[in-house]
Structure 1
Amino acid sequence: MLFEIICNEFRQQRIEFHSGLNTVLGTKTGNNSIGKSSFLMIVDFVFGGNTYAHATDIIRHVGHHDICFSFIFEQEQFWFVRNTLDHQNVWKCNNTYEKEEELAVDKYCTWLNEKYKLELPYLSFRDAVGRYIRVYGKENLNEKQPLHTVINEKSQKASYALLKLFELYMPIHNLEKQHNISKEAVDTFRKAQKHHFVASVTKRQVDYNTKEIELLTMEIEQIAVGLEKGFADLDAELSDEAIRIKQLLSRARRQRSSINAKLKVVEENLSYRFSIATDDFNQLKKFFPNANLAALSEVEKFHSEISSVFSTELQTEKRRLQKEIADITLVISEYELKLENLIQNPKLSKTILSRHADLQRQIRVLKEQNDAYSKFAQLKQAEKEDSELLLLAHSVQK
């Protein structure tokens, strides 16, 4: 409790308080301007207020001065000094009011809050004490606004301070917190739509999307009718993979056909035989009597020898091409197996796969748009409900 206030400028320099109610009385004749209001402002000054330090009439006539005061908490006394000029600080003192430690007013008020054991959620010491010290010279004298600490304070803030004092504020605080969360969620969603991170659609668009999804789903089911069971469940990602393997398979088959064509040419060259036919030469002599048959025989012999050399090289080329065909055939078999395992239909055309993947993508986009609309509607409904609860709490409070 506040125990004493001392000031050398007082007519009665030391004023001691006792536990319970303390009353400031004027004279029996009811004279004014004897210092009652000034003394109450000094009490407010002791409790961290600033009005007394800005009382120009007092400062002009008295000058800046020290206010000494002490508190007793749990039988322990604490001494302080605060000056009207340096009113942003409070000095902690010894028992003869010699200054020892400087404290900022905020820190000093925190200390008072702890000693008076207020420490109420979201309520400062000044908000708990200062607004209820109503004295001439402060801005809280309007009898029509008994809770306001200043003239232009919002009524909601003033009433909240009273609720905090009686520990009735937390339900409203929780409602406000929830409303702020839901409002922020709606605002964030709107920004995401503005920057095209989330689809922005109307109710009419949602209705159209729903019908379109039904039509696209029916088309997928119709595709599945002509194929093996299970293709209707093939998603877009698997369709893309099937298309990719189909392309690789087609490329490998074309490569194998090209190698087969080369092998056929090599085999035809290997099957060709050079031979010396005397009868043919005799027939030739009938038309060309002067032909040199011996020279022709030498040429034919040379061709036969060359053929023997080429045959070795062609056999090597044939073996190389056959190995390539075997390798590419193995690759083709692997692709066919992968495709079969993937879609259970190795004869599925690229056109069907592409159409299926496209249908799946269209459905996914439409569903994402509808989901965005539903999510936004849920957020707005949550904000509306939270706002209504908060308004209801405010009306009950009033």
Structure 2
Amino acid sequence: MLHEIRCEKFRTRVVRFHEGLNVVLGDDNATNSIGKSTLLMLVDFVFGGSTLLEWNRDIVAELGHHHYDYAFKFNGELHRFRRETITPETVYACDIQYNVVSAMQLDEFNAHLKLAYGLTQPGQTFRAAVGLHLRVWGKTNLIPDEPLHSFPKQRDKDCIDNLVKTYGKFDLIQARDRAARTAETDLKVIRAAASKQLIPKVTKTGYAHAKVQIADLERDLEDVRQNLANYATSLSAVINKEILTLKERKDILLQRRMTIAGRLQRVGRNLTGKRSLRASNFRDLERFFPEVNTERLAEVEAFHDGVAHILRQQLRASKEQLEDELRLIDISISGIDAEMATALGSVEQPESLVDHVYKVASSLQTARASTEGYEREQAHVSALRTAKEELAEVKQRILADIETSVNDGMREIVSEAVGNLRKSPHLSLGDASYSFEVFEDTGTGTAYFGLVLFDMAVFRATKLPAIAHDSVLFKNISNDSVARLVELYAKVQKQSFIAIDEIQKYGPAAAETLQRTSVIQLSDHEVLYVKDWRPSAPTATGVA
């Protein structure tokens, strides 16, 4: 816990803190600019924050550079530190007299606080855990409808992850997320290797074809194994089998060649055939049929000649196509003839059996590699799908649990502080976005009440070591409600820090609690620092 803050510029020189509620009291006139918010900002500063020197620049401007000595108590032992305004990124470890012993970077100091407070959740810094819930005027986390945001443009997903870490449940999500990322990386590696042709790239259709090919090749090898004795004494069986296959292919080609050759012959006759009739050819016809119209017959014949011309053009194109196909068939037949000659010539050569087995085994190895690669890729696709589904399931369950915890906690606090007739805010958590709905009242002060409820719900349900609420968060909340809230703060043993004034209006019980738990009393005449630089400041009272 935070034990004390010392500064030679403080009016009181030292401000000491205790367990539970720590109150910075203002006066009954609610006087502003006397140091209430500044002291809470200093609490944020000694908890590793940096807003003090960004927002309260007038402190250094009016007081000059100075330092703050402060101590934390862990397990009954005081740990003393110093932080200077001129070098705020450095924290000094000190001895019992606050003499500097060693220096460390601010991140290192925050890591020390995280360990000392027992915040073991991986992936969450001390500032991410605590800084969000130290809500002081001037910080960027006073967003009424975004209580998870440390600053306005922070991604919703990062805010949700931070809340999950605060609840100590992120390691469950992280394990599933790591499995999903590993599966995704493995799949990318396989696909990259396939794209660079380091391993076979096989489609679903290619996989089915390879499976059929494997079955055929395995049957071939099994046939060799079962008849090895026969093959060893006579290789003609293997050769005859190959010859038979080649002959079947050749017969098919020869049948095709015969068909094409017949079609080519008919096309040639149609192209060479020619008939032409003139008017003189009809004279014999006139002898038998004097009344025939020979001129009309000539016109019809001329029409037929035109059609025949068009058909001849089409026949020439068909002839060229058939001739090309015939040439390709002849080439294929010549290739088969060469293979048959080679096979027949190797009957007496024993290496032909080895060549045959090697060819089959090589083809089988290639086909198996293709199927294994496809099956390996599909296995990783399935693993990635499963990992993502498990991640979504775990995250959904955890977010639902946290959502219920926060909403039930806020409802309980509202019931205790305001009564059952008042609706509590409602937090809805999604995978990458969230909403925080404040019902009924929408004024700024009342909306800040939602931030108070959210922080207190998380504070009571988790290991969060401290919260701080500035006086602005209590404005426009009914006096009775503030009085009950004070009692709720006081019930929690962990440290909470609030700034508040006009305490008598909250009733004698609340006023007594606030007075008893106060760490300093500030007023128009007793400000935080030895110097009062307000434009309308009263006559300085000097250093107490």
* TM-score between the two structures when normalised by the length of structure 2: 0.49
Q: CA deviation at 1:129?
A: 1.5
- Tell me what 1:27 maps to: 27
SS at match of 2:122: coil
Alignment of 1:322-337 (within 5 A): none
Aligned residue-pair number: 283
Identical positions, percent: 28
C-alpha spacing 1:211/1:72, structure 2 compared with 1 (3 Å): closer
Equivalent residues in 2 for 1:51-70, closer than 5 Å: 51-55=51-55, 56-70=57-71
Counterparts of 2:92 and 2:222, CA distance in 1: 85
- Counterpart residue identity of residue 61, structure 2: R
Give the Cα separation in 1 of the matches to 2:87 and 2:59: 16
Q: What CA deviation, in whole Å up to 9, does each residue of 1:43-90 have, x standing for no partner?
A: 011011111122234333433321121222333323222112201111
- Which one has a bigger Cα radius of gyration? 1
Secondary structure of the residue aligned to 1:4 is strand
Output the amino acid matched with 1:388: E
Between the aligned partners of 2:127 and 2:147, the Cα distance in structure 1 is 16
Distance in 2 between residues matched to 1:394 and 1:230, nearest whole Å: 65
Q: Residue 226 of structure 1: CA displacement?
A: 4.5
The answer on whether the counterparts of 2:121 and 2:170 sit within 8 Å (CA) in structure 1 is: no
Change (3 A) 1:151 1:75: same
Any idea what the Cα deviations from partners look like across 1:348-397, whole Å, max 9, x if unmatched?
83212201110111011011001100100110111112112223333341
Question: What are the Cα deviations for residues 251-270 of structure 1, in whole angstroms up to 9, with x where unaligned?
Answer: xxxxxxxxxxxxxxxxxxxx
Aligned pairs for 1:1-150 within 5 A: 1-55=1-55, 56-150=57-151
Q: Which has the higher contact order (CA 8 A, sep 6+)?
A: 2
CA distance in 1, matches of 2:30, 2:386: 57
Alpha-carbon spacing, 1:373–1:129, altered in 2? closer, same or farther (3 Å): same
Q: 1:175 Cα shift?
A: 0.4
Structure-1 separation of matches of 2:104 and 2:218: 74
Listed one character per residue, the Cα deviations across residues 199-238 of structure 1 (whole Å, up to 9, x for unaligned) are: 111001111111222222333344455532899xxxxxxx
* Offset, 1:169: 1.5
In structure 2, do the counterparts of structure 1 residues 229 and 27 end up closer, same or farther at CA, with 3 Å as the change threshold? Answer: farther
Structure 2 SS opposite 1:384 = helix
Q: Partners in 2 of 1:225 and 1:369 — Cα distance? A: 27
RMSD, matched Cα: 2.3
SS at match of 1:22: strand
CA separation in 2, counterparts of 1:42 and 1:27? 20
Identify the residue that residue 168 of structure 2 maps to in structure 1.
Answer: 167
Contact persistence 1:90–1:102 (CA under 8 A) = yes
1:193 Cα offset (Å): 1.0
1-side partners of 2:359 and 2:27: how far apart?
A: 96
Residue pair 2:121, 2:171 contacting (<8 A) in 1 also: no
Where in structure 2 are the equivalents of 1:282-297 lying within 5 Å?
A: none
Pair 1:19–1:145, CA change in 2 (3 A): same
- The 1:180/1:229 distance shift into structure 2, 3 A limit, reads farther
Read off the aligned partner of 1:30 and give its amino acid letter: A
TM-score under structure 1 length normalisation: 0.65
Matches within 5 A, 1:1-398: 1-55=1-55, 56-224=57-225, 226-228=227-229, 349-396=350-397, 397=399, 398=429
Q: 1:152 to 1:353 in 2, by over 3 A?
A: same
Q: In 1, Cα distance between the equivalents of 2:104 and 2:71?
A: 15
Gaps of 5+ in 1: 232-346
Alpha-carbon distance in 2 for matches of 1:67, 1:219: 88
Whichever residue aligns with residue 146 of structure 2, its letter is: Q
Matching residue of 1:297: none
Task: Select between 2-11 and 350-359 the one with higher mean Cα deviation.
Answer: 2-11
1:159 partner letter: I
